[in-house]
Chains A and B, each alone.
Chain A
């Protein structure tokens, strides 16, 4: 008697090998979707969602996020891509492909009656050994190679994206932007908070007319056209409240017996705000940014004072501006005496604040901030999809630059690391006499999926190129005089094997290490599952209306 027929549960249950195979198939089908987008010659996906919004992208994490995968095992892979995106920001496609390949090979081994736990142990060992090997043998220090290699790493990240043609231009832009937001972490090192790089998109004109601005670009306009559009030596006030006519709170009623008093109250309403504005202007502010609104009525005070006022700014933008200019972000004017006041110390400073027209939109640019440098990128492109994809690509590149700068360690791209690891792990496996040998061999085999997919995507002969690459790496590992060959990788345009160190195809070490670790972890999570229980949805208690509708009472 089988367990299924006896154990009655509220749902479906399946166990043993079929579950594993099913999970592996689900995982591979996810990987197959993103496979063709890997590498410099990878192609893009167009995803249309249920309301008809279109996304065109090459980024693995974005593709998978939009897919709405249902199978629980496949969802593990989607989450894996998201994780890589959060932790590193790049290499999201590779991590999914490696994890799926690890699973596929493991499933084969299980079918040959090797116990999953032995495979899991082998995978863990292999992953540990691989990470150790990368760190000891394959990394290069960026300090020796200089700025060029950082630009090259950014270029490598962009090479698979729409902006690959102008990658020189964008790579320099990205590196400049990352450098501009550099802050000290107080321990002698530096941090690169790339979130502080403000990316604005405006469609129209060509991608090469994108620009980097040394300052902060704000996607808002001045509140009134009568205001001046340019102020030098700006004194900036950042406010988090509205400068509207004061409204009384709920529960407060105004009772007027005399119509003459009505006017007085109306006047007072306006005056409360007017007094506030006067306090701010008196302190010397000539640029006022607020997250709230400003009444049209009140705008005239600013116009008269020759100040710029910007309403409805984003709170996150304002916080950053406050940091960059040294201003205090105020939520209220109240001081410790219970009165309202505005001190000149609350003001931030910038060399220039201007409003400029970019495409159809007008932007406010804050240049020459006093406390810290800031940078913003304005992206131009023929259409919105293009701009969106540019933003994602630049985000990836920014992440890469940040990782390289922070860890100052890189490895060669183009399948070089994977080929080296595969050769190394195979010889490592043969040195073991335990049950893990086969699993480590399988791990080594599955790493080759990266160079293979790269070659296939580039319409090159993978069966020819990959063995060549492996041969180079093999000789680099056994002959000391050939050790320079370890930087060899694929050249996908020419269809050759070349020295990727010279060619400048770099990836951050951190990205590769995390890829291996995350992929192994995800594969193990799925491999460990030998039982799947799907419970049925509990009958939902619908509202009386819906029940009535269903039963046809409403006609």
Chain B
């Protein structure tokens, strides 16, 4: 802990500071204030009617976003305690992918409550222990109200993806993006076996132009490059796809070399040799039955020379070049082919097979799309379009959130209602539970239970409703046993939120509560900040 860093008392004149009993309290208070400020800063972006933030970075690049994790990452806060909250939202992003704003707001509310408790004379360690107990109990309550969901139940999955997209700029397209997210995740998981989803198997390709509505899910793969070579084919049915990692250009040795020509006849020979060499490669490729050739990007020399492109086009082989090295694995997995590092290994077995490979025009640019892959791997590509850079980036982030939500459901197959219902329920249930306890814990429990009401409060405030009347009504309903009552933002009233199709994965809420509690506990335990001067 930080106190270990206190130097030997006699060497430093500043030792008097540490005798000051007020110091730890002040540090704690300043940490809490700084961390709360972070929560305050992003609270307006919570919920379906949340607002966006515009962030202009030092280079003048503008980001417009509603995603808590992105806002905080871009914001560059300075205070170390505030930074902990930023990390907190990052952790939620990695764990659940959604609820990055709520987690910070929850932490902020818990900190505020802790501060009140501290002024009442509670010891930080006692608050912290109580908080641990509290979060465990909260998870229990949440699990008790959860609804199990089956991965074959498409409608429920759609609803939860919709809820995640609701607060984003692109939410008018949620009717299209939500099914896309659900289909994409379901395509890459085996519902019976998988407990987790590797989102890397979902390739999101962003391309400026058109509108978000023109985005599409591609069962196969899309390359943003156009096919190379003039006069080559732009559509191939029954494609045999080869992925090569070597170059089709005049050979080069590793060492410097020079070819000496002593005779004019040798000039012809040099030229002919080059042609023969390239021709030989292309013929071998053709002989293996390949008709779509993917070429890895090479920085040392041209991956493919003009001459080679010409010859490949003549042999009706479609060429896509500049495949990034990091994409190779994904491409191989999707197409069921093997990367071929040398011409000797270019055999029919290494090729992948697909129904159709074609070049298509979308807006101003051309793409190559390969569909109908035989023995496909569990991968999928999503081609995302957007009218400007900001919209495109935000669509990407929103889609990521939706994908994460579905992933959460794969990890933990339970749904809970959204719209502030779980928080209100927790608050009511835990207050009741507090009445059965004794001592400091009881006091802390009640205070923290109340702090959870901040989420419905902010939700209603952002929706333009009166927070006090809405929250009290919500509390009332939950006290009467309506577990699924939540804030219906569209109608501006309290209703059964499940009927409104506002659902979220259990994992998002449980991870938000546990992460927030842990973060608050670590902030509470700090009683000194030591700036190391370099």
Contact = CB atoms under 8 A, between A and B. Distances in A.
Partners in one complex: yes
Interface of A: 1, 3, 6-11, 13, 15, 19, 23, 70, 72-73, 75-76, 79, 83, 86, 115-118, 124, 240-241, 246, 248-249, 251-257, 261, 264-265, 267-269, 272, 319, 328-332, 334-340, 435, 518, 521, 524-525, 528-538
B302 interface: no
Contact of A267 (B57, B230, B257, B264): B264
Interface in B142-166: none
Contacts of A538: 58
Given A257-B262, A267-B264, A8 B41 contact: no
A510 B300 CA distance: 48
A11 to B, nearest CB: 7
Closest 3 pairs (CB-CB, A-B): A115-B464, A537-B58, A7-B37
A540 to B, nearest CB: 9
Contact of A9 (B44, B60, B76, B387): B76
A144 B259 CA distance: 73
B64 interface: yes
Given A3-B40, A535-B58, A252 B261 contact: yes
20 contacts: A8-B77, A13-B41, A72-B56, A117-B51, A117-B462, A246-B271, A248-B270, A252-B260, A253-B258, A253-B260, A255-B261, A257-B262, A268-B264, A268-B267, A269-B267, A337-B279, A525-B391, A529-B53, A533-B54, A538-B58
Contact of A531 (B41, B59, B77, B462): B41
B307 interface: yes
Nearest to B274: A249
B56 A535 contact: yes
A531 B261 contact: no
A265 B267 contact: yes
B75 interface: yes
B259 A8 contact: no
B323 interface: no
A72 B61 CA distance: 9
A331 B76 contact: no
B261 A331 contact: no
Nearest to B49: A117
B530 to A, nearest CB: 18
A252 B74 CA distance: 53
A533 B33 contact: no
A124 B259 contact: no
Given A6-B36, A7-B41, A255-B262, 8 more contacts: A8-B34, A72-B56, A79-B388, A257-B262, A336-B311, A525-B391, A532-B56, A538-B58
Contacts of B49: 115, 117
A7 B54 contact: no
Contact of B51 (A241, A518, A530): A530
Interface string B380-419: 0000000110110000000000000000000000000000
B311 A334 contact: yes
Contact of A10 (B44, B78, B391): B78
Nearest to B43: A3
B57 A535 contact: yes
B282 to A, nearest CB: 9
B20 interface: no
A3 B492 CA distance: 28
A1 B37 CA distance: 10
B333 interface: no
Nearest to A249: B250
Contact of B172 (A10, A70, A124, A535): A124
A332 B307 CA distance: 6
Given A83-B388, A535-B56, A7 B264 contact: no
B34 A6 contact: yes
Interface in B256-294: 256-265, 267-268, 270-272, 274-276, 279, 283
A7 B51 contact: no
B104 to A, nearest CB: 12
Interface string B18-50: 000000000000000110111011001100010
A73 B422 CA distance: 37
A262 to B, nearest CB: 10
A331 B306 CA distance: 7
Nearest to B263: A261
Contacts of A257: 262
B310 A331 contact: yes
A528 B41 contact: no
A507 to B, nearest CB: 21
A334 B58 contact: no
B62 A11 contact: no
Contacts of B54: 19, 23, 72-73, 529, 531-533
Contacts of B55: 532-535
Given A8-B79, A252-B270, A529-B53, A537 B59 contact: yes
B309 interface: yes
Contacts of B272: 338-339
A68 to B, nearest CB: 11
Nearest to B59: A537
B130 interface: no
B248 interface: no
B358 interface: no
A13 to B, nearest CB: 7
Contacts of A23: 54
A534 B261 contact: no
A521 to B, nearest CB: 8
B52 interface: yes
A109 B170 CA distance: 24
B77 A9 contact: yes
B258 A272 contact: no
A9 B52 contact: no
Contacts of A331: 230, 306-307, 309-310
Contacts of B82: 7-8
Nearest to A120: B49
B261 A7 contact: no
B92 to A, nearest CB: 20
B314 interface: yes
Interface in B324-375: 364
A533 B57 CA distance: 8
Contacts of B390: 76, 525
A83 B389 CA distance: 11
A336 B172 contact: no
B455 interface: no
Contacts of B274: 249
A547 B279 CA distance: 54
Contacts of B462: 117
A232 B75 CA distance: 69
B105 interface: no
Contacts of A328: 231
Nearest to B62: A72
A347 to B, nearest CB: 14
Contacts of B276: 338
Interface string B289-319: 0000000000000000011011100110000
A104 B234 CA distance: 49
A10 B76 CA distance: 6
Contacts of B241: none
Contacts of B66: 528
A264 B264 contact: yes
B51 A116 contact: yes
Contact of B56 (A118, A240, A272, A534): A534
Contacts of B306: 240-241, 331-332
Contacts of B364: 86
A528 B54 CA distance: 9
B304 to A, nearest CB: 12
A521 B213 CA distance: 13
Contacts of A6: 33-34, 36-37
A392 to B, nearest CB: 19
Nearest to A315: B230
B260 A531 contact: no
Contact of A272 (B57, B79, B267, B314): B267
Could you say which of A319, A331, A521 has the most chain B C-beta atoms within 10 Å of its C-beta? A331
